[in-house]
């Protein structure tokens, strides 16, 4: 990718506003304009509301060194990300409706930091690298700044725009604008990001939202074609601008909503005949490009097919023959796209070669097609964000945006990712030993189903070990020298762990057998230096009936049995009483036998009561004191 994707200088030419009435219903209205580095919201001369960026990101704010050289307030303040705020910093735009968007950025240096060193950094959108700024910047861009724009798709309801510091440079940004566009606009084959490498309107000055009062539904700005036209090679001819004398039709239509103004001016070439028109566009040979051509027959003298015919050549290759009148008649827009592949140079040449009459063109767009990078599985992103929160990971570690993407950059500091067979990214390792962390481990860690190794040793983490920990993939667990409390979670016991270091914590309770078997099977386990772990070979025996959750299973069974015995005894007593009464009144036993039975029953009854009393005293923890009368 070229260091400066595409830029245009903002020499604003005030163009008289042509009122154009949009009749089409246009349902995509979301737009956000962020004035980076500004402390307050504001409204500009185009009635655009600019929001302060303080709620979207971290980093530091500054002002360009010569604010009077800048036309718009949002160009004067900027945000930069010193290395102390981490290598990766993001703007996180929440609650975005799903769909397709244009992002426009304004980047400027203007020696704001007095170091006379333009920074090197990368910018990513939704985990794909889109801009690569490399020091030294072109003098004009460094001083006056540059706009860049691109089209991208949002699949979740959040957009991440991230800045990656190269060496110790501080990425810098002055404004960010997000405008929703038609979901089917500029579709190539998939939803790749399209980065603008040149978008011009022939025969006019620069125009579009933010630059003039002219509207464009997608907030596209259109440069003058003078910046791209190849001069001195027009075969002796002279460039002529023409403007439409009446309205052009077939404009402002879904899905691309090309504006009327684009087709109201054009350039052609006049001369002896046979003169061609040529444009050169900057490109990066590594990428494929999407060219979008715009034509309209706005010369009233061309009034039938075959009067103006020309071929379109891209890098010398004939890609299409054009007869605008034959295709759409006059005063009607005619556009088509062409994908250029296998480039060999950093310049793309577009030439209009005449066949009949002189060639004409209204505008041209050129976009680099950035293939989608891999993405971290969504539920693992959720888990990592929860961990960032619960572990209170410091800013300097740059835990922002997608944990693993873009793949050309390292994952979040201390995090290792891998690519699964089906092409998604997953977290395989977390190493945050001795980072001064003070939080706890979120239960969401269970969502990291590919986690192999977790090392959080020598921090000040507390709380209990979460249930989620002990996923099937986990092999290595080092939580030593923290302040973890409570008992060992059962989930740990069912895992395939080979290395477990939990020494130097405040854990208590019985160690599950399965965990102890790690040592037996050649793994390593260290449970020393805890508050009250018991049951292991080097640990004290657990008190009878005591295990990790207080009472052991055996303890519970014992209590259960005691209760059962108690209930049986009570029932027995009740039964005997009942029986005795029955004996007393219902059955006519011989007198002697009856008195014998009564005696025996009385004796039985006393004994039962005694036992009962003993039991209840025991339960209260008293030593029974009674006199055997």
Ligand X SMILES: *[C@@H]1O[C@H](CO)[C@@H](O)[C@H](O)[C@H]1NC(C)=O
> CB 352 → ligand X: shortest distance, Å?
12
Nearer to ligand X, 141 or 507 (CB): 507
476: exposed, middle or buried (Cβ count in 10 Å: 0-12, 13-18, 19+): middle
**Contacts (Cβ under 8 Å, ≥6 apart) of 142:** 108, 109, 110, 111, 118, 136
Min dist. Cβ of residue 128 to ligand X (A): 15
**Which tokens sit at 119?**
């920074």
Tell me how far, at minimum, the Cβ of 380 lies from ligand X, in Å. Answer: 9
Question: 19 vs 621, which CB is nearer to ligand X?
Answer: 19
238-243 and 265-270: which strand pairing? Answer: antiparallel
Which residues are at the interface with ligand X (CB under 6 A)? 14, 40-41, 45, 47, 51-52, 188-189, 213, 288, 311, 318, 320-321, 339, 341-342, 369, 377, 420, 422, 424, 433-434, 455, 457, 476, 478, 499, 501
CB nearer to ligand X: pick between 288 and 395? 288
Of the pair 197, 331, the CB lying nearest ligand X is at 197
Residue 379 near residue 451 (C-beta atoms within 8 A): no
* 3-class secondary structure, 366: strand
Residue 467 and residue 481: Cα distance in Å, rounded?
20
Q: What is the number of helices (H) and of strands (E) in the chain? A: 8, 36
The two beta strands, 524-526 and 499-501, are parallel
User: CA nearest 256: which of 197, 332, 333, 322?
Assistant: 333
Non-local CB neighbours of 62 within 8 Å, separated by 6+ positions: 37, 77, 78, 79, 80, 112, 113
Closest CA to 285 of 3, 572, 2, 593: 2
CB of 429 to ligand X, least distance (A): 10
Q: How far apart are CA 440 and CA 506, in angstroms?
A: 14
For residues 164 and 295, which CB has a smaller minimum distance to ligand X in the complex? 295
Q: Which residue is nearest to ligand X (CB)?
A: 433
Smallest gap from residue 488 Cβ to ligand X (A): 17
- Least Cβ distance, residue 135 to ligand X (angstroms): 32
Nearer to ligand X, 267 or 500 (CB): 500
Classified as helix, coil or strand, 142 is helix
- The full DSSP string for 447-502 is G-TT--EEE--SS---SBPPTT---TT--EEE--SS--EEPPPHHHHTS--SEEE-
Contacts of 409 (CB under 8 A, 6+ apart): 88, 122, 124, 129, 164
- As measured in angstroms, the least distance from the Cβ of 17 to ligand X is 6
Q: DSSP string spanning 379-413? A: HHHHHHHHHHHHTT--GGG---S-SS-STTS--ST
Which residues, other chains included, contact 518 with Cβ-Cβ below 8 Å and sequence gap of 6+?
Answer: 497, 498, 499, 500, 524, 525
Please give the helix or strand (H or E) that residue 288 lies within, else none: strand 288-296
CA 370 from centre of chain: 17
Closest contact distance (angstroms) between CB of 134 and ligand X is: 26
Instruction: Yes or no: say if 160 and 126 are a contact pair by the CB < 8 Å rule.
Output: yes
Q: Shortest Cβ distance from residue 116 to ligand X (Å)?
A: 32
Identify the CA nearest to 531 among candidates 551, 501, 504, 512: 504
Determine the Cα–Cα distance for residues 130 and 102; give it in Å rounded to an integer: 13
Q: What is the rounded CA–CA span in Å between residue 349 and residue 339?
A: 13
Residue 302 · residue 330 · CB < 8 Å: yes
- Find the shortest distance in angstroms from Cβ 506 to ligand X: 19
Minimum distance, C-beta of residue 423 to ligand X, in the bound complex (Å): 7
252 Cβ contact list (under 8 Å, min separation 6): 22, 23, 24, 217, 258, 259, 260
> Closer CB to ligand X, residue 103 or residue 352?
352
């Amino acid at each position: 990718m070229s260091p400066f994707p595409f830029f245009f200088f903002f020499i604003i030419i005030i163009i008289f506003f042509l009122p154009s009435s949009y009749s089409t219903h246009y349902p995509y209205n979301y737009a956000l304009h962020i004035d980076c580095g500004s402390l307050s919201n504001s409204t500009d001369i185009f009635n655009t509301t600019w929001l302060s960026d303080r709620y979207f990101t971290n980093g530091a704010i500054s002002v360009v060194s010569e604010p009077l050289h800048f036309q718009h307030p949002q160009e004067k303040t900027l945000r930069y990300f010193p290395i102390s705020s981490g290598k990766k910093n993001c703007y996180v735009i929440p609650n975005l409706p799903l769909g397709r968007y244009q992002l426009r950025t304004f980047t400027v240096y203007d020696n704001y930091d007095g170091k006379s060193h333009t920074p090197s950094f990368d910018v990513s959108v939704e985990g794909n690298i889109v801009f690569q700024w490399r020091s030294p910047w072109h003098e004009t861009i460094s001083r006056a700044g540059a706009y860049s724009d691109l089209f991208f798709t949002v699949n979740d309801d959040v957009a991440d725009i991230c800045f990656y510091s190269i060496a110790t440079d501080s990425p810098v940004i002055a404004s960010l604008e997000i405008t929703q566009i038609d979901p089917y606009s500029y579709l190539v084959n998939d939803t790749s990001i399209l980065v603008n490498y040149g978008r011009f309107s022939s025969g006019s000055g620069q125009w579009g939202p933010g630059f003039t009062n002219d509207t464009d539904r997608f907030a596209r700005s259109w440069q003058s074609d003078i910046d791209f036209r190849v001069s001195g090679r027009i075969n002796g001819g002279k460039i002529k601008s023409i403007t439409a004398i009446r309205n052009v039709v077939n404009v402002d239509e879904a899905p691309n909503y090309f504006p009327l103004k684009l087709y109201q001016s054009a350039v052609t070439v006049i001369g002896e005949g046979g003169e061609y028109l040529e444009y050169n566009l900057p490109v990066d040979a590594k990428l494929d490009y999407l060219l979008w051509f715009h034509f309209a027959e706005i010369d009233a003298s061309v009034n039938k097919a075959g009067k103006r015919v020309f071929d379109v050549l891209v890098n010398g290759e004939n890609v299409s023959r054009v007869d605008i009148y034959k295709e759409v008649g006059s005063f009607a827009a005619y556009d088509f796209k062409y994908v250029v592949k296998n480039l060999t140079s950093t310049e793309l040449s577009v030439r209009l070669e005449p066949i009949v009459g002189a060639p004409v063109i209204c505008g041209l767009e050129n976009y680099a097609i950035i293939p989608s990078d891999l993405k971290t599985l969504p539920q693992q992103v959720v888990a990592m964000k929860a961990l960032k929160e619960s572990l209170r990971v410091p800013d300097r570690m740059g835990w922002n945006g997608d944990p693993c993407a873009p793949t050309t950059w390292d994952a979040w500091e201390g995090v290792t990712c891998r690519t699964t067979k089906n092409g998604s990214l997953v977290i395989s390792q977390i190493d945050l030993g001795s980072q001064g962390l003070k939080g706890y481990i979120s239960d969401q860690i269970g969502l990291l189903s590919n986690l192999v190794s977790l090392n959080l040793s020598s921090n000040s983490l507390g709380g209990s070990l979460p249930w989620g920990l002990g996923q099937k993939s986990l092999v290595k667990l080092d939580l030593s020298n923290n302040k973890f409390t409570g008992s060992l979670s059962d989930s740990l016991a069912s895992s395939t762990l080979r290395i477990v270091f939990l020494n130097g914590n405040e854990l208590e309770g019985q160690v599950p057998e399965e965990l102890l078997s790690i040592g037996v099977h050649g793994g390593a386990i260290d449970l020393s230096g805890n508050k009250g772990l018991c049951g292991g070979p080097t640990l004290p025996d657990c008190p009878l009936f005591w295990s990790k959750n207080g009472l052991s299973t055996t303890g519970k069974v014992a209590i259960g049995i005691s209760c059962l015995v108690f209930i049986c005894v009570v029932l027995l007593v009740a039964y005997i009483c009942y029986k005795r009464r029955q004996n007393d009144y219902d059955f006519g036993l011989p007198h002697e036998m009856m008195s014998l039975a009564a005696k025996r029953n009385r004796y039985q009854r006393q004994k039962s009561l005694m036992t009962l009393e003993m039991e209840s005293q025991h339960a209260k923890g008293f030593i029974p004191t009674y006199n055997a009368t």
